[in-house]
Structure 1
């Protein structure tokens, strides 16, 4: 399993300020590690570069991203997940985008579940004659049969709750969960929904794409 976490992100080129901090990302990472520690070998990257993640994806079965997502409506293939790298003699930190294009160029043999706990990874406002392109679709093309994404920005707390419940169910069901990722996500979302039925914008954005 791969966990890529970005509790903070550097400012992007041309941006006035850096993306907001995600203070519960580290909690999300710890909860997942607690659940998975005795079940699988887990590689954890905090503030990884795109190259680090691309290399790790080649051998992992489950990939979990807790970070910001970004959309490029003029070129949807340039949409992606915000990671970071250092550049220059002073090793200044800059955004390093894991784009749809770079992910979809992969041909992954072991991929099973990609969980994109990031804003708007399953959304794209751009109308295109060749269909909808979003971050989730890039992971599908790369070889993940099950991908979890968000239709709009998700709250930090809800991300933690849904992810914790989802992985708990996946591990309970063992190998069968690979083919039941959609029902595991539905049950996880319904559990969060039961806590606050009046606020669907807090929990209804989590979606599963796959077979």
Structure 2
């Protein structure tokens, strides 16, 4: 399991529940079965280097979709954006991707019959199962 977690992303509001997601994944997967890229370690190059070596990936970060240019949809990482174009440039052999990020399954308005989304990019490039969101996720704090 590759876990990409950014509770604080430069230029973005904080995501208070990222740490809770990481704690849950830590409890479910033994230390030798997971790699955590968090904070400053969650860079575009680090994520792109790790994706081909993991069957499962969990992104817990900001996401965005450009409705006029869907291929510019992205996940916000510590040093910039991991775009649909970045993901689509290579093949993956993953089994499961979970995108806990806003609008990762939202398509564009100019191509209503084509799905150009982060979720579709991961699926088309090799991840068999992908879970993503169609909306902006609020950032309410879960009860403790």
| Equivalent position of 2:87 in the other structure | 103
Question: Does the CA contact (< 8 Å) of 1:25 and 1:156 recur in 2?
Answer: no
Q: Which deviates the most, 148-157 or 117-126?
A: 148-157
Q: Please give the TM-score of this superposition, normalised by the length of structure 1.
A: 0.62
Larger radius of gyration: 1
Structure 1 residues 35 and 129: alpha-carbon distance in aligned structure 2, compared to 1, 3 A threshold? closer
Question: Across the two proteins, how many residue pairs are aligned to each other?
Answer: 140
Q: Please give the TM-score of this superposition, normalised by the length of structure 2.
A: 0.89
Shift of 1:74: 2.6
Alignment of 1:1-211 (within 5 A): 1-11=1-11, 19-37=12-30, 41-47=33-39, 48-85=42-79, 96-109=80-93, 111-128=94-111, 131-156=114-139
Alignment gaps of 5+ in structure 1:
12-18, 86-95, 161-211
Alignment gaps of 5+ in structure 2:
none
Structure 1 residues 125 and 77: alpha-carbon distance in aligned structure 2, compared to 1, 3 A threshold? closer
Structure with more helix by fraction = 1
Shift of 1:20: 1.6
Question: What secondary structure does 1:147 align onto?
Answer: strand
Question: What secondary structure does 2:78 align onto?
Answer: strand
